[in-house]
Amino acid sequence: MNTQTILKAFVEKAVISEEQASIIADYEQKKAFSLHWELRSILYLGIVLFSSGIGVIIYENIDTIGHQVIIASIAAFTAWCFYYTYKHALPYSNEKVSNPKKLADYILLLGCTTFLVLEGYLQFQYNIFGTRYGLAIIIPTLIFFFCAYRFDHKGALSMAITGLASWLGLTVAPLAVLSQNDFTDNRLLATAVILGSILCAFGWASEKRNIKHHFAFTYIFLGGNLAVLAALTGIFSDRAEFIYMLVGLALSVFFIQRARLTQSLIFLLIGVVYGYIILTHFIFSNIVSEDASFVFGTFYFAFTSIGVVFFLLNFKKFLGIKK
pLDDT value, residue 215: 93
Q: What's the rounded Cα separation, in Å, for the pair 138 and 182?
A: 21
Q: What's the rounded Cα separation, in Å, for the pair 144 and 153?
A: 9
pLDDT value, residue 189: 82
Terminal-to-terminal C-alpha distance of the chain: 21
Question: How confident is the model over 84-120, as pLDDT tens digits?
Answer: 999 999 999 999 888 888 788 888 988 998 898 888 8
Question: How confident is the model over 31-70, as pLDDT tens digits?
Answer: 776 666 777 777 777 777 877 777 777 777 767 777 888 8
DSSP 215: G
Torsion of CA 59, 63, 67, 72, to 10 degrees: -70
Q: What's the rounded Cα separation, in Å, for the pair 125 and 21?
A: 70
pLDDT value, residue 166: 85
Query: Could you give phi then psi for residue 272, rounded to 5 degrees?
Result: -70, -45
Q: Is the sign of the CA dihedral 259, 262, 267, 269 positive or negative?
A: positive
Torsion of CA 53, 108, 123, 223, to 10 degrees: -110
CA angle at 113 for the pair 107 and 118, rounded to the nearest 5°: 120
| Contact yes or no for 166/222 (Cβ under 8 A) | no
Spatial CB neighbours of 204, under 8 Å, sequence gap ≥ 6: 216, 220
Q: What's the rounded Cα separation, in Å, for the pair 109 and 84?
A: 12
Question: How confident is the model over 184-213, as pLDDT tens digits?
Answer: 677 778 888 899 999 999 999 998 888 899
Of the candidates 152, 84, 82, the one whose C-alpha atom is nearest the C-alpha of residue 113 is 82
- What mean pLDDT is predicted for residues 247-254? 91
CA angle at 255 for the pair 253 and 260, rounded to the nearest 5°: 95
Spatial CB neighbours of 283, under 8 Å, sequence gap ≥ 6: 300
Q: Is the sign of the CA dihedral 158, 164, 167, 170 positive or negative?
A: negative
| Contact yes or no for 225/174 (Cβ under 8 A) | yes
Q: pLDDT band at residue 262, thresholds of 50, 70 and 90?
A: confident
pLDDT value, residue 171: 63
Q: What's the rounded Cα separation, in Å, for the pair 170 and 175?
A: 13
Question: How confident is the model over 135-156, as pLDDT tens digits?
Answer: 888 999 999 999 999 999 998 9
Q: What's the rounded Cα separation, in Å, for the pair 198 and 191?
A: 10
DSSP labels, 233-261 = HHHHTTSSHHHHHHHHHHHHHHHHHHHHH
Q: Break the chain down into helix, strand, coil percent, rounded to 5.
A: 80, 0, 20
| Residue positions counted in the chain | 323
